[in-house]
Amino acid sequence: MNSMAIEVLTPRYGIAWYPWAVQYFFMIAVSYSALLLTVPGLIFGNKNYQPLARVALLVTVTCTLVGPVALLADLHQPLRFWHFYANLNTQSWMSIGSLLLPLYLVMVLAYAWLAWRPAMQEQAQEPGWIGKLSGWISMGSWQAPRWMLVLAGLGALAFAFGIMLYTGAEVAILKSRPLWHTNWLPVMFVLTGLVAASGLVVLINRLMTGNDEEINRQGLKVIFVSMALAAVVAALWVSEGITGFSPSVEAAFESLQGNAEWRMVAIYGLAVGIVLTLATIAMLRRPGWMTRAWIAGLLAVHIGWTFRWMVLMEVQTVAKNTAGYYQYAVEAGSSGLLGIVGTFGLWLAALLIIDILVPWKKGLQAGSH
Amino acid sequence: MDKIRRALLGQIAKLTAGAALVPLSSLASAGINDQPPRREGDPSKRYAMLIDLRACIGCQACTVSCHIENEAPLGSFRTIVSQYEVEHEETGDIATFMLPRLCNHCDNPPCVPVCPVEATFQRQDGIVVVDNDVCVGCAYCVQACPYDARFINEHTQTADKCTFCAHRLDVGLLPACVESCVGGARIIGDLNDPDSQISRMMKEHYEDLMVLKPEMGTSPHVFYLGMEERFMSRPQAKPAIWDVRTQEGEEIGYEFDGH
């Protein structure tokens, strides 16, 4: 057709999911990924991984507490959340998520409570309000058998797999946005979640537990393996588009061709990914560099968060029906910048409150006694 | 878009328009993201709309009357007429193409099964509606719609969309957009009634009817007559409206400051 079309009139379609969604997807992915990092030390009782498990458990609990808050905020009127339970539609992935999420939260809290309890009971002997509070929280001086911790951990793990599945499927089933509609997206969410969670563990290790070398090494290894797997997944996704017909890849190439901003982001993403992968290799090989692991940790958190920002927010700026792209500028208010900063602030508050109340650095129930 | 692909899409469009006439109720299995059963509405009817683009003059009377009838917030629309300027590359002749958009009341509406609370549902007469008392405002349906036919109403904080003016149809009135259409381009009616105007026109123009985004498999029930294939999916057009900016890069030419 040798004619050119100009779109003269079309309405502006707003963004339907706000940055709250990014915050939820980030927090919950860090939560389930950090939970995975506690498994060798806490559930299997492997002593080599107990320092890692200690930090990872703190990350798990804080992110599990804050994630659902961000999710509620994205409902526009959070108090309507009870509608989820009064009007179940188990055909919807989101409805399935609304059932999984509270159960996951309860299991994670039970797991952490059992892990921290011996130290809390010890602290309950001390005078002052912290001792008294520790007594209340630990609910008596009876000894919880180890199988209880293992059972709670396995329960949390089972629900964690449910969360991985539903958060991925919820987005990936949407045919309306071809960029989301690929089975590789849920896998990528988990891998980048592992990168971010390990990064955060390494970072907290630098700030709160004296830059323990073993934690750094283990964290960097997980980052390296996850990054390598993410590269494989990305390659598979692209090759699916080259060899067969993948609307997801086609939409991505279309955006790359038609939009300079997208090209910049793609180049940036690729560059940061390569830098992080190379940095982890360098740090793992040169013992002296290990003390700087927190830099890789920071970069890993950045990648985990930015991946979600790109996937959830930037994809929403691709017009479904009209030509071109929407302009999206982050608002200053609670549905924008304040929401983002607020979520991180709440997470920091949770971290500090737990740090004050719980002697989480002491031996965990898993092995030290 | 290359020629072969365009031709293929055109074929799919025609096929899908045909398939829409076959009842899809036989598709019943209970898996995740399957269509829940339809409820309410007259089971003997199947409402649909035919838009005769040859008669549309792009006056936006439908846009305005819908806005007033359904009290949508400023800047949000249940229906709108997209307008394109098409220039012949050799002769330089210019034509304007009008494309009224609204909810397609699909036979396989992707917005319905995603709803976590079954607030949005399809009536037995095919109309897709939202129960605002139940809706939680999660906007999942807004994401799932390939036609951008839904939005979160900033007044009610719930999902909002075209209902074919079900409240008017139920008392024997025409939808606001149909009532106000200057050229008589919008025809609504019951596909189950072989004598309805829409049934007669669909029979007459069967070969020329098209639907939007047939590749989505939604089986839309808004049919277009006089449609250009290049506008069926996301149009390959220059987005002129976004270029309306000041020298500082600030967007002008938009009155509404909503999100």
Instruction: Enumerate the domain spans of chain A.
Output: 19-357
- The reply to whether residue A4 touches residue B110, judged by beta carbons under 8 angstroms, is no
- CB distance B88–A325 less than 8 Å? no
Quote the pLDDT of residue B7. Answer: 53
What is the mean predicted confidence (pLDDT) over B38-67?
A: 93
| ipTM score | 0.88
Q: Is the pLDDT of residue B259 over 70?
A: no
Q: Does B38 touch chain A (CB under 8 A)?
A: no
> Is B41:B124 a contact under the CB 8 Å cutoff?
yes
Contact B224, B101 (CB under 8 A): no
Domain regions of chain B by residue span: 3-20+38-110+163-229
Positions in chain A short of pLDDT 50: 365-369
B45: pLDDT confidence band, cut at 50, 70 and 90? very high
What confidence tier does B5 reach under pLDDT thresholds 50, 70, 90? low
pLDDT at A240: 82
Instruction: Count other C-beta atoms under 10 Å from residue A308's C-beta.
Output: 23
Helix count (H) and strand count (E) of chain A?
12, 1
What pLDDT does residue B33 have? 81
* Cα–Cα nearest to B8, from B214, B167, B207: B214
How many angstroms separate the CA atoms of B30 and B228, rounded?
Answer: 38
Between the two ends of chain B, the Cα-to-Cα distance in Å is: 32
Measured between CB atoms, does A287 come within 8 Å of chain B? no
The C-alpha atoms of residue A80 and residue B134 are separated, in whole angstroms, by 9
Q: Does B239 score more than 50 pLDDT?
A: yes
Structure token digits, residue B156: 């009610």
Nearest CA among A162, A30, A159, A35 for reference residue A93: A162
Our CA dihedral for A187, A193, A194, A197, rounded to 10 degrees, sits at -170
CA distances in angstroms from A82 to A101, A156, B136, listed in the order given: 14, 23, 9
| CB-CB contact of B214 with B20 (8 Å) | no
Which positions in chain A touch B145 (Cβ < 8 Å)? 176, 320
Query: Chain B 164-203, CB below 8 Å of chain A: which residues?
Result: none
What single letter denotes the amino acid at residue A13? Y
The fourth-level CATH superfamily of domain A19-357 is Formate dehydrogenase/DMSO reductase domain (1.20.1630.10)
**In percent, how much of chain B has pLDDT > 90?**
59
Shortest distance, CA A66 to any CA of chain B (angstroms): 18
CATH topology of domain B3-20+38-110+163-229: Alpha-Beta Plaits (3.30.70)
pLDDT in tens, B147-175: 999 999 989 999 999 999 999 999 999 99
Cα end-to-end distance, chain A, whole Å: 78
Tell whether the model's pLDDT for residue B26 goes beyond 50. Answer: no
Chain A, residues 93-132, CB within 8 A of chain B, namely: 93-98
Q: Which of B52, B50, B53, B56 lies closest to B20, judged by CA? A: B50
B252 pLDDT more than 80: no
Does the beta carbon of A285 lie under 8 angstroms from any beta carbon of chain B?
Answer: no
pLDDT in tens, B102-127: 999 999 999 999 999 999 999 999 99
Contacts 24+ apart (CB under 8 A), A99-103: A100/A159, A100/A162, A100/A163, A100/A166, A101/A28, A101/A68, A101/A71, A101/A163, A102/A68, A103/A159
Looking at residue B246, its pLDDT comes to: 52
Do the Cβ atoms of B116 and A95 come within 8 Å?
yes
What pLDDT, on the 0 to 100 scale, is given for residue B51?
Answer: 96
Q: Do B84 and A335 touch (CB under 8 A)?
A: no
Q: Hey, how many other C-beta atoms are within 10 angstroms of the C-beta on A1? A: 14
